[in-house]
Chain A
Amino acid sequence: MVFERDGKRIPVLEDINLEVTDGEFICVVGPSGCGKSTLLNLMGGFLSPTSGSVTIAGEVVKGPDPRRILVFQERGVFPWLTVEGNIGFGLSRLSRVEREERIAHYVKLVRLEGFEHSYPSDLSGGMKQRLQVARALAVDPDILFLDEPFGALDSVTRLIMRSELLRIWQAERRTILFVTHDIDEAVQLADRVVVLSSRPAKIQDILQIDIAHPRNISSSRYLELRDDLLNKIGVAFTL
């Protein structure tokens, strides 16, 4: 993938080959500005690759599609719609009854009961992100792309959101590609962690996280993997 800015060609991603299995939870980490989000936007169909292609279930990705929903870091929910309206946004093709059932199901799944008629301005940051995930899941997508979805939240909320996401993922098995710059987040969530190098990004390494959920974040295996990942990104152990 090459970007052109002011007549200059900036290679962002080079030689990326990644196979993702159905139902897998993949985290993508890498130095900031390396092209993690670009990769996600390519896979989501929001950008077209300058060379190569993205293939999902044997089909080349040509544009955005409701079968794969991108969840954004901020401002992803529509401020002019209530919680119900946001979750039902992609459901206009369903009958009224079906739509209401679907909305009720996802309100419950992301624990927003009692806020059905609230507007996003009355929700906390964490609730807004849960709402965004609910809206994405409501259209029954095959793949969820999450672009640093908890990056703008405080650290405690971020921890809670991680376990919520895991719970949701275990309840409704979907393929998840999750971009983050948070090492702990990657080791806590992913089946595999893809490490990108700095720009132009290549896949530097792919790390298998072989710990079953729920993960004990002070177990020796966890710390080992975490250190391994830190090492691969090239961050020192001591500050």
Chain B
Amino acid sequence: MIFIAALVSAWQIAASLHPAELLPGPVSVARGILDLLQHGLLLKYVVASLFRVTWGFLLAASLAIPLGLTIGWYRRAEMAINPLVQIFRPISPLAWIPIAILWFGVGDLAAISLIFVGCFFPLLLTAMSAVHTVPEVYLNVGRNFGLSTRQFVYRVLYPAVAPQLIVGARITVGIAWLVVVAAEMIAVNSGLGFLIVDARNAGNRYDLVVAGMLIIGAIGLLLDLGMRSLERVKSVRWSYSGE
């Protein structure tokens, strides 16, 4: 805490020594945040950004995880599909912006589709590789107790990959939060990314730019803490190495 306080004071001193406005000081940033709160914009933008991240992430997870587990289970399917995945994976989600706007126009759908693309491939790869690391013993026990395929998937396969899926999901939520800011700078007229671009364009309000950045950082931290708390759930708080 003291360290952070010292940094903030150093920031204030440095900002006041350079009146040329290279960077607004903490006082004006705090004033900017208050300003946004008073106009009701802050809450609105935060909700808009979180809304897009939630939908994009959930859509990607509900498709990529079952698909990835299936592909990972059948080695041949993996050999067939892997090259394709490896080509799409290194394409930055931002490269999809023109296509997203072409297909969905400027609006929520375009932003959500970008987050979807950004989340889909990391989750797919996590699920694919998670299947491979399940110890054969668990699979054999599942077969031994006469489970149907459906029971086998829900009672053995999913729990066995859950710890890895949660780690993958945590990283992916981080990616989604990065992507949403970039997507909002171009594809929509609301959200925290839009706030940053708009503040600059509408009269160089750099205090609002920095305010937006700080809020993005704070929410990113909260998202990560939220995902981390999932890792502490007892039934997934085990790992193969810990046995």
Chain A residues in the interface with B (C-beta under 8 A): 44, 46, 63-66, 69-70, 72, 74-76, 78-81, 89-90, 92, 119-121, 139
Contacts and interface: CB of A to CB of B under 8 A. Distances in A.
By secondary structure, the B interface counts as helix
Nearest to B242: A121
Contacts of A75: 135, 137-138, 243
Contact of A80 (B135, B143, B145, B159): B159
B39 interface: no
Interface of B: 135, 137-138, 140-141, 143-146, 151, 155-156, 159-160, 162, 234-238, 242-243
Contact of B144 (A64, A78, A81): A64
Contact of A121 (B141, B156, B160, B238): B238
A79 B238 contact: yes
Given A64-B140, A65-B146, A76-B141, A119 B235 contact: yes
A139 B145 contact: yes
Contacts of B236: 80
Contacts of B156: 78
B242 to A, nearest CB: 7
A44 B141 CA distance: 11
A46 B137 contact: no
Contacts, number: 60
Given A78-B141, A78-B156, A139-B145, 19 more contacts: A46-B144, A63-B143, A64-B143, A65-B146, A69-B145, A72-B141, A74-B243, A75-B135, A75-B138, A76-B137, A79-B238, A80-B235, A81-B159, A89-B141, A90-B145, A90-B146, A119-B234, A119-B235, A121-B238
A46 B140 contact: yes
A75 B141 CA distance: 10
A81 B135 contact: no
Contacts of B145: 66, 69, 89-90, 139
Contacts of A80: 159-160, 162, 235-236, 238
Contacts of A72: 137, 140-141
Contacts of A46: 140, 143-144
Contacts of B155: 89
Nearest to B144: A64
18 contacts: A46-B140, A46-B143, A64-B146, A69-B145, A70-B144, A74-B137, A75-B137, A78-B156, A78-B159, A78-B160, A79-B243, A80-B159, A80-B162, A80-B235, A121-B237, A121-B238, A121-B243, A139-B145
Contacts of B242: 121
A121 B144 CA distance: 23
Nearest to A145: B144
The 6 closest A-B CB pairs, nearest first, are A79-B238, A90-B145, A80-B159, A66-B146, A64-B144, A64-B143
A119 B243 CA distance: 12
Contact of A70 (B140, B146, B235, B237): B140
A119 B242 CA distance: 13
Q: Which of A65, A80, A90 gathers the greatest number of chain B CB atoms within 10 Å?
A: A80
